[in-house]
Chains A and B, each alone.
Chain A
Amino acid sequence: MIQLTTILRTTLLAAIALTLSACGESEPLTEGSEPQLRRLTEQQYRNTIRDVFGGNIIVAGRFDPLERIDGLLALGASSATITPAALERYESLARSIALQVVDENNRKVLLSCTPTSAGARDDSCAETFISSVGRFLFRRPLTNAEQALYTTISGSGAEALGDFYQGLAYGLTGMMVSPKFLYVNEIAEPDQDGLHRLDGYSKATRLSFLLWNTTPDAVLLDAAEAGDLDTEDGLEEQFNRMMASSRADHGLASFFEDMLEFERFDILEKDPVIYPAFILDVTEDAKEQTLRTLTHLLLEEEVDYRDIFTSRKTFISGSLGPVYRVPVDNPEGWMPYEFPEGSPWAGIHTHLSFQALFSHPGKSSPTLRGQAVREHLLCQKIPEPPGDVDFSDFNNDTNAVNRTARQRLVAHNEEASCAGCHKLMDPIGLAMETFDGAGQLRTMENGVVIDTSGELDGISYSDAVGLGEALHQNPSAPACVTHRLYAYGTGRSPVPAERQWMAYLEEKFAETGYKVSDLLQEMVLSDAFYRVIPPALDTNTADAGSVSAEETQL
């Protein structure tokens, strides 16, 4: 039966592809992959709470970390579980949020109805609130069963506590510990081609988390409900609307935060004796500088993606001014700034964020920087080092002979087991050695002038700015962001059957002058982005809108 289904699907795909190709250039047909079940990331959770209940609701809690898979935490979210301990934390957090939502100040603006008595249950008012909020939390309208469940919980709570709002907080807590909130559960439906696609609400959710990194808004949910997202015009209308919003900046910033491994800023520390200027404000602003730069260049100016490696345009805050030695017209805020021609700063890889993040606490690391460029910007995996590597020569900064990192790495690479990988990383990282471990400029190391020359995949350069130009010319750079963006949006790595589709996307990206907004549009308006293989039927799996026994017991 399975074999027959597979044969039929393959035949069908081939037939459709043949038909389409005869009509001229069109996207290659794919069958996609199974729908994803993705745990909300911490940022998605926080953004959702902010957007549903307002920014004054404090989300004070810890979230379990996600595993980075194929270069993205977003892919780790697709295989993330919730442990019993984590569920307890979610519950505590949900309770805290719910109590804030119903407190005397917030209830006035967040509840559109007033109970007949604050000391008693009022199912009508509770239902109105639950219906309104539940749509955003579950990213679809609540089913009747769900509606009844949370209304009942709220009413029971109100009766037990003699307080309508306290009862409502219980109902809200129940919704926020439901897997229907904590997980994005994508639903497949048949399409007109005989294949399968995501249903409207799943499309809306994918769109919203890709473009805004938050739950869908009312307009998007309305569009899903009306079936507009199943038409190209409807999708395009929503895409244009969402990209025009400043939330698109946030969405793209979230993507690059993931792609560049910026979550590590939360734990980044530098030795204050060696780098006294690397204070907390600098750490926070360094990250934001790069994200602001990226969103501005790619969404505001709509430059060629590859220009992010060469552009001297950026943003500077009061905290970053002393680090870059740049005047800031308002030391309490941010200002756009363009480093002068000939400056050592051009491209995001020269930013303080990149230099400091991919260094050791007390010194720079050409290897870590080179690895970061290869893995994060070019999507080239560097193998893990062997377990028995002797780092003593490299770590000996006081070596009288090998006084620079370059000299120490040459000595280190005499070991054949190390040389292969270091050859891929070190020439890149050594170009950035004029930035110390905290990203500050220097020209010498231990009294020796730093040599920043190198070569990347056949292109030679003399410094980090030249490295940026080499990255600009490297075909792996735009291909990398194409793959990462698609994987980020779908929650999975492209499958082998999508090779043709990915090549098509890359080609389209190039045709549009490597404009990221065009790449997003191509992706979002495609069929491939929503194409799924329906999961094998499991009679034990509950329907998405049904109410589980566990939930009933809440």
Chain B
Amino acid sequence: MMRLYSAGSFIWTGRACYQPAPIWEAMRKDMKLKNLSAIGALALSTAAATPTAADVDTERTIGLVVVSFYTSVYETKYMEECPRGLAIGNDEIWWKSLEPGIRDELTNGGEIEPVTGTRRAMSAKRGPNGEDVCAVPTIVEDPPHKTVEGSISYGMNLDGLLDEATTPKTCSHKNFTTPDGQPGIDNQMYRLLGCTFGWRDSGYVETNANGELIDTSQGIILIEVSEVDDRRNDDEVTVRMYRANDIFPKDAQGNVLPYASYRVHDIPGYGNAAKGRIVDGVLSTDPIEAFLPYYGNLAHSEIHLRDMRMELDLEATEDRAKGIIAGYRDIENFWSYFRKGGYLAVTGQFSCPSMYVAAHELADGYPDPNTGECTALSSSYTIETIPAFIVRPEDDDSKTSEATTEPRATQLAARGE
């Protein structure tokens, strides 16, 4: 059906006949072909047989949209990184705490699965007065959290050190080595989550969150690489990350279509500029403070990373760029995710109180000036992106910070937080 015209009636008694068609008329007003403010996406691979936007687009910008976002977790076949096994689940602790009579009542005498439906929420509310132990993780004391004890991890050397020394911005911690042998890797988030079912391969928490990202189009991250003169080797480019204001268009099989256009969300705080470079098709950036949108497991959240940097192989596959985003993630920012849904402890099989304690023990970044205890965890996220067009408002300069290290307080104030 044509969708050019709105309704107007010849005998409409309340309005003049022949109402102009608003859609078409509106379009006529700015019918003059104008220069697009949109950013052109460049092809990821020069080897692609299919002509790409690069062939018809001379913009110096690479636009990308994140379609996969996972906490970087290195796993071995026989789980050698977790010699003490996986973290104890919230349910297990809860179940063991119940009197036999209550267990009978909840399971209809053992006939039905104990943790379903409303009992999921119930199992997290095991504080002395029924408090949610994920919302108030210090209210009970659980057995110690099981953490990664291996030496290999994905991630980056965030503090620049190869040993366990401290710096004014970091606390002492053990380093990892990447699978391909790079030493000095800081990834305490992996140490915290790597032995927890929900974050491991096919674990429910992250798999479900990624599914929801695609299904709901909430929390879409855009990456814009501008001032690109040479997409294989360029010693100076600018990288910005935004929150998208549009949905994922998908093909008949549910896959996100490349080369779609996304408008930038105008919430202040996103879009800090990072200096970067491309070497042999791999993009890397200098550190900046960044906020990234995040939605998963029915909870809206936001990832706040300090000293965030990126390493992205723009030629990973014919149609995808892959890499990692790393930085220090504030513990309270991280924990806000769990505060919004105690069921994560159920589906992810961990104890909130145990993990909360462990997170503080493992924190290795940004010491509290008063206590000296670190408040952030070195972290790494593995991402995959596809080409996209990033559409910014024409007056977006005022909304996009040029500073690479704008004080957090300023940004939060701008965001009304």
Contacts and interface: CB of A to CB of B under 8 A. Distances in A.
B38 interface: yes
Contacts of B27: 334, 336
B319 to A, nearest CB: 12
Nearest to B49: A444
B interface, how many residues as a size bin? Answer: 35 or more
A11 to B, nearest CB: 45
Contacts of B391: 327-331
Interface in B13-39: 13-14, 17-18, 20-21, 24-25, 27-28, 30-34, 36-39
A245 B10 CA distance: 14
Contacts of B409: none
B259 A217 contact: no
A524 interface: no
A494 interface: no
Nearest to A449: B49
B252 A272 contact: yes
A337 B27 CA distance: 12
A53 B10 CA distance: 7
Interface in B26-56: 27-28, 30-34, 36-41, 49-53, 56
Contacts of A281: 249
B356 interface: no
B111 interface: no
B28 A327 contact: no
Given A342-B56, A443-B49, A54 B13 contact: no
A343 B259 CA distance: 17
Given A329-B391, A337-B33, A319 B56 contact: no
B261 A218 contact: no
Nearest to B15: A109
Interface centre among A110, A111, A292, A322 (most CB of B within 10 A): A322
B11 A136 contact: yes
Given A327-B389, A329-B38, A336 B31 contact: yes
A291 B2 contact: yes
Interface in A148-197: none
Contacts of B30: 336
Given A253-B2, A340-B56, A441-B50, A51 B252 contact: no
Contacts of B8: 51, 54-55
A110 B5 contact: no
Contacts of B7: 50, 54-56
B34 A110 contact: no
A331 B261 CA distance: 6
Contacts of A51: 8-10
A246 interface: yes
Contacts of A35: none
Contact of B252 (A257, A278, A322): A278
Interface string B247-265: 0011111010111111100
B3 interface: yes
A interface, how many residues as a size bin? Answer: 35 or more
Contacts of A64: none
Given A291-B2, A327-B389, A322 B11 contact: no
B38 to A, nearest CB: 3
A360 interface: no
Interface string A109-121: 1111000000000
B251 A253 contact: no
Contacts of B52: 325
B1 interface: yes
Contact of A218 (B17, B49, B249, B250): B17
Given A247-B18, A340-B56, A54 B9 contact: yes
A325 B10 contact: no
Contacts of B33: 313, 336-338
A52 B249 contact: no
B37 A246 contact: no
A455 interface: no
A322 B4 contact: no
Interface in A349-371: none
A53 B7 CA distance: 9
Nearest to A441: B51
Contact of B11 (A53, A250, A321, A336): A53
Given A313-B33, A321-B259, A336-B33, A288 B3 contact: yes
Given A247-B18, A250-B4, A327-B40, A217 B31 contact: no
A125 interface: no
Interface string A35-58: 000000000000000111111100
Contacts of A215: 10
A325 B51 CA distance: 10
Contacts of A338: 33
Contacts of A232: none
A325 B53 contact: yes
Given A340-B58, A344-B51, A112 B249 contact: no
B78 interface: no
Contacts of A331: 246, 249, 260-263, 391
A253 to B, nearest CB: 6
Contacts of A247: 5, 18, 21
Contact of B253 (A50, A272, A296): A272
A277 B39 CA distance: 22
A247 B4 CA distance: 10
B202 interface: no
B49 A340 contact: no
A277 B256 CA distance: 9
A478 to B, nearest CB: 25
A217 B10 CA distance: 7
Given A325-B56, A328-B391, A110 B13 contact: yes
B284 to A, nearest CB: 26
B11 A132 contact: yes
A458 interface: no
Interface string B128-149: 0000000000000000000000
Nearest to B32: A336
A329 B261 CA distance: 7
B61 to A, nearest CB: 10
A318 to B, nearest CB: 6
A328 B38 contact: yes
A321 B20 contact: no
A234 to B, nearest CB: 19
A106 to B, nearest CB: 10
Interface string B46-90: 000111110011100000000000000000000000000000000
A319 B260 CA distance: 8
Nearest to A106: B9
A519 interface: no
Contacts of A276: 251-253, 255
Contact of A322 (B10, B37, B38, B259): B259
A103 interface: no
Interface in A419-465: 440-444
Contacts of B398: none
A56 B9 CA distance: 10
A109 B40 contact: no
Contact of B249 (A111, A217, A319, A441): A319
A55 B389 contact: no
A279 interface: yes
A284 interface: yes
A97 interface: no
Interface of A: 50-56, 109-112, 132-133, 136, 215, 217-218, 245-247, 249-250, 253, 257, 272-273, 275-279, 281, 284, 288, 291-292, 296, 300, 313, 318-319, 321-322, 325-332, 334-340, 342-344, 440-444
12 contacts: A50-B9, A51-B9, A110-B9, A249-B4, A277-B257, A321-B259, A322-B249, A325-B41, A329-B261, A331-B249, A332-B246, A335-B36
Given A327-B36, A328-B38, 8 more contacts: A54-B9, A55-B9, A132-B11, A217-B10, A291-B2, A318-B249, A329-B37, A331-B249
6 pairs of A and B residues whose beta carbons are closest in the complex? A55-B7, A327-B38, A327-B389, A272-B252, A276-B251, A54-B9
